[in-house]
Each structure stands twice: as structure tokens, then as C-alpha cells.
Amino acid sequence: MARDHRVRIKSREDIAKIAMSWWNATNKQGRSFNICEFVVETLTKRFTQKGRLQIEFYDQGRADEPAFVTFRPLVLHIDRKIWEAAGLGDTYARFVVAHEIGHRAGLANLNRTLSGISA
């Protein structure tokens, strides 16, 4: 796992506010939420100071993490099986994706852009 950028730890309340803001901005058709669609359709299309989010898939080995983010360039590296499972609604896999995009959200200055959702 690469460590090329530190992200300030946020409180549960701040994380909940950020998540709810993204939910409100992207989920206009009810209660269904596919986290993989959100990453592909929303996060990869928005620019940040670090550029546009890219996704790279790999096959996880025994000693590998299921996913990680690098910031120079901004890339979500994720195991193919985890990504597929998250798209199908698997709780653990969705958690992995959410955790990693949380690192990306920490860089996007979301506190500043939540009102206009222009991250």
C-alpha cells in the first residue's frame, strides 16, 4: 500500500455529513445506491487539485490490501473481485470502496464545495 499523502482524520459526524451530501447530490431516483456506479459516474468525472480520479484493477495476492488510493496521480487501486462484489451489493466490499473513496473525498476540499457540489 502506498502512502504518499496524509489525510486529516474526520469525526463520524463530519463523515456522515459528507456522505449525505454526496447521496443527496447523486441519488435522485429513490433509495437505491450502487457505490461502483457512483465512483464511475460521479467521482471519475470531477476534477480536484490532484486531477481526475482513475480506477485501476488488480488481482489481490495473499499479502495485498483489497484496495488503496494513491494521490500522485489520483488513482483508486482495487481488487477485481472486491469491485465486482461491491457492485452486487456485498456489504464488506461496499465498505472497502467507501473507505477508499473517503480518502479521495478528504482531498477534494468537500467541506468547501458541499453547498454547490462542485468537487
Which tens digit of pLDDT belongs to each residue from 16-68? Answer: 887 777 777 776 666 677 889 988 988 888 766 767 889 999 999 999 999 99
- What are the φ/ψ torsions at residue 78 (nearest 5 degrees)? -145, 140
Q: Which of 8-17, 30-39, 81-90, 98-107 has the highest mean pLDDT?
A: 81-90
Give 101 or 55, the one with higher predicted confidence.
Answer: 55
Instruction: Read off the pLDDT of each residue in 74-82 and give the average, rounded to a whole number.
Output: 94
Residue 67 near residue 80, CB atoms below 8 Å: no
- 86: phi > 0 → left, psi -120 to 50 → alpha, else beta; which? alpha
Give 7 or 97, the one with higher predicted confidence.
Answer: 97
Tell me the fold of 12-21+34-113: Zincin-like (3.30.2010)
Separation of alpha carbons 67 and 91, rounded Å:
15
Separation of alpha carbons 2 and 114, rounded Å:
28
Separation of alpha carbons 87 and 20, rounded Å:
20
